[in-house]
Structure 1
Amino acid sequence: MASRLAPWLRVASAMTCVGWGANQFAGLLEVYRGTGHRSEAFVSSAVGVYAAGLIPALLVVAAISNRVDRRTPVRWSVLLSAAGSVLIMAGAEHDWLVLLGRFVAGVATGAVLAPGTAWLMDLSPADSSGTGARRATVALSLGFGGGPLVAGLVAQWSPSPAVLPYTVHLLLAAVTGTLLWSTPVEPARRDACPRAVAGPGRWAGARAVLRQREFLGVVPLTAPWVFGTATTAFAIAPTAVHVATLPIATNAVVTGTTLVAGVGIQPLGKRMEHHARGRTLWVGMALAAVGLLLTAVMFVAPHVWMLFLVAPLLGGAYGLLMVGGLSRVEVLTKPDDRATVNAVFYALTYLGFAAPYLFVLLTQQVVGATTLLGLGTLVAAASALAVVGQRRTPRTEPTG
């Protein structure tokens, strides 16, 4: 069967599998809040600890990805992703195993991003610019969106909602792992696209980009909002309302809606960025401000239907901010530096997974939910204005 599938499709299926394992937990938050009787602080910690595993793995693997073949880290990512699910399943009665499983899932995701994307680029047609990157985006998005949706729907009608949903991912890992094992590692056009040689000079261009005003003045300001908006939609907003009917399935659909909106708006974001560089970032921050304002209103006047208004707004913000950030990196970098600077950008985006934990910590001890979200709205609006101001600065040529 594996030999009948194109090599790029086998690699893409592996990335979907890892994305599925990374985000399936998001569709089960109501399981751990309700039937699992875990505290909101624990649930938020479990969401955030994923980033603690992902960010170091992302930076380390991105740094060494040109010294090893693409297949090795991708294989390990699929295995680690499956291990993460097994640990979370075993943690149905042990909190520390859930946290460890989420950490391992983060490591798996961080390890697959750079080499998986690069491998798809290697296996894609040389005369079709951007094909590999688009395939990687679609593959990960299918996993990020499909995982929580399917897991939540399975859990809603499952006799063991903290265990059985993860078996879907284990089955997917078994199939994709089998397909991946025989995939060729060396691309046909490897001689035309030699890999960069590691060394002190290799990092000089990336460091120069990271010090540029167009990077420092925009990317650190907007990148954490990428997943900060997404986690607000599926981990914070649902705590404002009580869902009496099908609570797990409702949470899963909200999560799926957020991520689908984020993926669906990206083609529009690319067209916006093509016509006016920087527009996607300030529009994304404006959407974030509106979504946060509506979330704040939910804590005063809670209505379930508002979840399905907040989800696409914050999901759209997530998608536009992702496109805008990657576009900014592409403009500022030369090809040899792009993987390193992209890794830094992704690391900044995943800081947003700390949002639910910080929200719980601050609302329990410092300030009310509505006030905190109102402050977040003001910060998002101010960030949008700051990005508009940056758009008026002269265009910077790629450094390296």
Structure 2
Amino acid sequence: MRSICNRWSIIQRSYMVFCKSICFSNILGRDHDEHVPRFRSDARDVTNELRVRSTAREMWIAAGVLATLSAAANMASPLYPTYQQALGISDLAVTLLYATYALASVPSLLLFGPAADAFGRKPVLALGVTCAAIGTLPFAVAEHVAWLFAGRLLLGVALGLATGAGVAMMIEREPSGNRARGSLLATLSFIGGTGAGPLLTGVLAQYAPAPTVLPFVVMLAVLLAVGVSLAWVPGGVLVRGQRWRPTRPSVPHHLRTTFVVAGTTGFLGWAVVGIFLALLPSVAESVLGRPNLAVTGAIIAALLLCSALAQPLAPRLLPHAAQTLGVTMIAVALGLLVSSYLPMFAQTPASLVLLISAAVTAGMGHGMSYWGAAADVDARTSEHRAAVTASLYLLFYLGAGLPAVGVGLLTMILSLGTAVLLFSLVVALVTVLFLPVPSLVQTQIFATAPVPGPPERDRVREGATTGSAFAHSVIQSSWSHHHATLGYGNGAGSGSDGRSVHGSGASDKYGPDRSAARS
């Protein structure tokens, strides 16, 4: 019996060795050339998939940071009438509150934007989130208007800090390397957050307890979560030899005509948005006859959503045509806003319809004019892109803040309704007079051009891919790496020497002499 068992054990071991030899012969023998490359290819595929997942995660984290900071910076808008009653502040103080944020964002963007290249994306984003959290606290515990001003100031600095780093990370970490898609995501993040903040505040303040506390507690929790998510982001991207130095605005002589037209267009577009964001809560209360914070937040969100929806549509037009259409819609929006105040519609459903129509039209006009202005300047700029773009968006931010302050100053001698009506009529008159200017200037530019080139549509799409006007300005803050557009129109990558990453812009393509003639 023992011998039989030994023989059976030997047979089993022999069979196992035979089977293993067959397997090795299939892998290492006849099929070696077939299997090994496949295994190596599978390993590469797994590595690439892990890399794509990692970069996609970082891109979405940056998008979340930018959207959250945009929401935090604008979420107090529906509560302005509540603060007026609780703290006894004037309409002028309300407009100054809004302008503080808008005007603080400009120097912050110019001063701290390049810091992302010098110190890395992650530290700058983390500092922006920290500033936003500190700036949110005063709104939850405010007992004096000075607390609100301090909060608005810190929120403006926080958004200026994080904008350049966030947009840069989204464009750099787009998994497929599509920079235009990254800049478009930056646009949607910025506008989506700007609209979501007032909507969240309006709904919570209208239907939940503690209307001046709960929205900001929720925002602090979201900021904490976003700050923790930065732990999954690597240390950041540094530019070798890059020192932290502010971006200085300037405009070359040959570009000034185009710049003045584009700057005026953008100023008008932002002026209307600034008036809506600063004064819509009070205006809505006057139109409705009673405060409804949810409706106010929804109208603000609708305005910004329409601006975002206009961005993919605007590149179908030439830049000067987009500017003309945008300014026309702005004039119509102001007419609708004035109509909502007429005695015949006072505190009726028609006044609410007119107010919503004004917000939607203003949003579409803002998106069109914003993209057209940024695309026109970008396509004609070959050198000093950062300085030119800084100058352009300086006008945009001034447009967002100064007109609202102008309305506030008028409320010192007039009622809020009368001040809004008067100011809207003045701006509407300016926009109507300005309507033919973009087309006339464009005609003059082409008439004086010595050498005909390809259609402007091709130049603009080569020099400024369809992304976001918002990404364009903020990416100039990280100008040594790339160049893509802000808000909410075009995006063109640019190195620190001003050359286009995606392709030659109009000025690059035709040379400095012909570019000067065209501009």
The question of a shared fold, defined as TM-score above 0.5 by the shorter chain, is answered with: yes
Indicate yes or no: 2:426 matched with 1:381.
no
Partner of 2:389: 342
State the Cα deviation string for residues 25-47 of structure 1 (Å, max 9, x = none): 12323332455543222221111
Q: Distance in 1 between matches of 2:224 and 2:253?
A: 40
* Structure-2 change in CA distance of 1:132 and 1:72 (3 Å): same
Instruction: Indicate which of 305, 315, 319 corresponds to 1:260.
Output: 305
State the Cα deviation string for residues 126-185 of structure 1 (Å, max 9, x = none): 642412211211111221111110111101123321111112211111111111133024
Partner of 1:315: 363
Amino acid in structure 1 at the alignment position of 2:193: G
Q: Distance in 1 between matches of 2:304 and 2:182?
A: 21
* Structure-2 change in CA distance of 1:344 and 1:77 (3 Å): farther
State the Cα deviation string for residues 334-383 of structure 1 (Å, max 9, x = none): 4x744443333333212122322211212433794333321211101222
Instruction: Indicate which of 268, 271, 274 corresponds to 1:231.
Output: 274
Q: What secondary structure does 1:135 align onto?
A: helix
Q: Distance in 2 between matches of 1:209 and 1:328?
A: 15
Structure-to-structure mapping, 1:51-66, within 5 angstroms: 51-66=102-117
Amino acid in structure 2 at the alignment position of 1:247: N
Instruction: Indicate which of 79, 86, 94 corresponds to 1:43.
Output: 94
Partner of 1:333: 381
Partner of 2:174: 124
Partner of 1:390: 441
* Structure-2 change in CA distance of 1:293 and 1:131 (3 Å): same
Amino acid in structure 1 at the alignment position of 2:192: L
Which is further off, 389-398 or 14-23? 389-398
Amino acid in structure 2 at the alignment position of 1:266: Q
Q: Distance in 2 between matches of 1:119 and 1:361?
A: 41
* Structure-2 change in CA distance of 1:53 and 1:181 (3 Å): farther
Q: Distance in 1 between matches of 2:253 and 2:227?
A: 36
Instruction: Indicate which of 176, 188, 193 corresponds to 2:226.
Output: 176
Indicate yes or no: 2:402 matched with 1:354.
yes
* Structure-2 change in CA distance of 1:344 and 1:125 (3 Å): farther
Q: What secondary structure does 2:164 align onto?
A: helix
Q: What secondary structure does 2:66 align onto?
A: helix
Amino acid in structure 2 at the alignment position of 1:322: Y
Amino acid in structure 2 at the alignment position of 1:38: I
State the Cα deviation string for residues 94-124 of structure 1 (Å, max 9, x = none): 1100111011111111112222111211112
The CA deviation at 1:254 is 1.1
Instruction: Indicate which of 307, 311, 319 corresponds to 1:277.
Output: 319
Partner of 1:248: 293
Instruction: Indicate which of 126, 129, 139 corresponds to 2:189.
Output: 139
Which is further off, 169-178 or 240-249? 240-249
The CA deviation at 1:285 is 0.9
Residues matched between the structures, number: 387
Tell me the percent identity.
22
* Structure-2 change in CA distance of 1:183 and 1:64 (3 Å): closer
Structure-to-structure mapping, 1:297-308, within 5 angstroms: 297-301=339-343, 302=346, 303-308=351-356
CA contact (8 A) 2:70 2:159 kept: yes
Q: Distance in 1 between matches of 2:385 and 2:264?
A: 20
Structure-to-structure mapping, 1:143-158, within 5 angstroms: 143-158=193-208
* Structure-2 change in CA distance of 1:226 and 1:195 (3 Å): farther
Q: Distance in 2 between matches of 1:289 and 1:384?
A: 9
* Structure-2 change in CA distance of 1:88 and 1:239 (3 Å): closer
Q: Distance in 1 between matches of 2:334 and 2:157?
A: 30
Q: What secondary structure does 1:333 align onto?
A: coil
Instruction: Indicate which of 265, 268, 282 corresponds to 1:222.
Output: 265
* Structure-2 change in CA distance of 1:298 and 1:56 (3 Å): same
Q: Which runs of 5+ in 1 are unaligned?
A: none
Amino acid in structure 2 at the alignment position of 1:87: P
Q: Distance in 1 between matches of 2:333 and 2:85?
A: 26
The CA deviation at 1:224 is 2.1
* Structure-2 change in CA distance of 1:4 and 1:66 (3 Å): closer
Q: Distance in 2 between matches of 1:215 and 1:158?
A: 50
CA contact (8 A) 1:278 1:324 kept: yes
Amino acid in structure 1 at the alignment position of 2:370: M
Indicate yes or no: 2:132 matched with 1:87.
no
Q: Distance in 2 between matches of 1:208 and 1:350?
A: 17
TM-score (norm 2): 0.68
CA contact (8 A) 2:247 2:390 kept: no
State the Cα deviation string for residues 271-294 of structure 1 (Å, max 9, x = none): 22xxx2321111111111111122
Indicate yes or no: 2:69 matched with 1:18.
yes
Q: Which runs of 5+ in 2 are unaligned?
A: 1-52, 450-505
Q: What secondary structure does 1:217 align onto?
A: helix
Q: Distance in 2 between matches of 1:164 and 1:239?
A: 21
CA contact (8 A) 2:122 2:236 kept: no
Q: Distance in 2 between matches of 1:136 and 1:220?
A: 22
Q: Distance in 1 between matches of 2:378 and 2:240?
A: 18
Instruction: Indicate which of 57, 61, 78 corresponds to 1:27.
Output: 78
Indicate yes or no: 2:129 matched with 1:78.
yes
* Structure-2 change in CA distance of 1:390 and 1:68 (3 Å): farther
Q: Distance in 2 between matches of 1:28 and 1:198?
A: 41
Partner of 2:423: 372
Q: Distance in 1 between matches of 2:209 and 2:308?
A: 32
